[in-house]
Amino acid sequence: MFKENTISKHYTHGSLLDSIRAGIERLGKTPDTVGVEDLGPVDEFHIGGREASESFLDRLQLSPDDHVLDVGCGIGGTSRFVAYRYGSRVTGIDLTSEYIETGRVMCSWLGLEHLVVLEQGSAGAMPYSDGTFNTAYMMHVGMNIADKHLLTSELYRVLKTGARLAVYDVMRVGGGELTFPVPWASTAQTSFVATPGEYRNALELSGFRVVAERNRRDFALNFFARLQAKAATADSPPPLGLHIFMGNTAPLKIKNMIENISENRVAPVEIIAEKLS
């Protein structure tokens, strides 16, 4: 519980919705006129943003028939994108109350409340019945969860037989100490990066079969290079972006993230698994 409280505090902003409203105004939009694509820069709190989400989620072949679980949904940005792009019904769960409260308001702006439900809770003890969902995904979540087997066991429990689970996390791919702070942790005490092998082992012990794996290191470095090039020519941060979550620490956290990936200590990795029975 101590770790979860510490992690939730790390992500709590204090005035997140107001900051997003201000960004929308700078775009010349209002809550009544803003769209899913407008919100993309702030809606995707993971390496690669919306571009990464599209490539990752397209692999799941989602449809309006699917009930999808978004684990560690943040402000529900990817949940809204899934509902908008694929027509799927999405339930998102996240530890941070402010994210859920903010995300619910943003869903109302877009008229997506009928497809997207966001709830506060722990990924290690989810309030859902066995076999509720036929697809699940998590994006940059496992780095804050120490017990990967507990996480994968819970995911296995709430998924239907034959369901697919997709993971896009920052994973340990080499040696060396990580440089902190990074977007998911200020210090090593709340950072639980694991190797792809450790993820595969946890998934298989829980009953999943791993069907695909993809290291996205080169994509990540290209993404950060483009981000830095754009920032170098700008007079100020863009109206909406990940700096809204990280505040004044954003440049340092991104710098450290680039260093950790460049030195091949970590990399964003995708793993897709299937529930066998």
What's residue 5's pLDDT?
A: 79
Q: State whether residue 18 is helix, strand or coil.
A: helix
Peptide bond into 181 cis (omega under 30): yes
Query: Rounded to whole angstroms, how far apart are CA atoms 256 and 74?
Result: 22
Residue boundaries of the structural domains of the chain? 2-275
Whether the pLDDT of residue 238 is over 50: the answer is yes
Please report which helix (H) or strand (E) contains residue 269, including its range: strand 266-275
Q: Which fold has domain 2-275?
A: Rossmann fold (3.40.50)
pTM recorded for the entire structure: 0.95
Query: In Å, how far from its chain's centre is CA 180?
Result: 19
Whether the pLDDT of residue 87 is over 70: the answer is yes
Please list, residue by residue across 25-52, b when 16 or more beta carbons sit within 10 angstroms of its beta carbon and e when fewer do.
Answer: eeeebeeeebebebbbbbbbbbbbbbeb
Q: CB count, 10 Å around CB of 232?
A: 7
pLDDT digits (tens, 9 = 90+) for 181-216: 999 999 999 999 999 999 999 999 999 999 999 999
Query: Rounded to whole angstroms, how far apart are CA atoms 191 and 194?
Result: 9
- 11 falls in which pLDDT band (50, 70, 90)? confident
Do 158 and 133 touch, CB atoms closer than 8 A? yes
Whether the pLDDT of residue 230 is over 90: the answer is no
Helix axes 36-43, 49-58, angle to 10 degrees: 100
- 2 falls in which pLDDT band (50, 70, 90)? very low
End-to-end CA distance of the chain: 31
Query: Rounded to whole angstroms, how far apart are CA atoms 252 and 134?
Result: 39
Whether the pLDDT of residue 148 is over 50: the answer is yes
Q: What is the mean pLDDT of residues 260-277?
A: 97
What the block records as the tokens of 140 is 């940059």
Q: CB count, 10 Å around CB of 105?
A: 14
Query: In Å, how far from its chain's centre is CA 65?
Result: 23
Please tell me what DSSP assigns to residue 87.
-
Q: List Cβ<8 Å contacts ≥24 apart for 197-205.
A: 198/148, 199/142, 199/148, 199/167, 199/169, 199/171, 199/269, 199/271, 200/271, 202/148, 202/149, 202/151, 202/152, 203/152, 203/165, 203/271, 203/273, 205/149, 205/152
- 1 falls in which pLDDT band (50, 70, 90)? very low
Of 200, 215, 199, the residue nearest 269 (C-alpha): 215
What's residue 3's pLDDT?
A: 67
pLDDT digits (tens, 9 = 90+) for 157-171: 999 999 999 999 999
Q: What is the mean pLDDT of residues 255-267?
A: 97
- The single-letter code of the amino acid at 113 is E
Please tell me what DSSP assigns to residue 67.
E
Q: CB count, 10 Å around CB of 120?
A: 16
Q: State whether residue 266 is helix, strand or coil.
A: strand
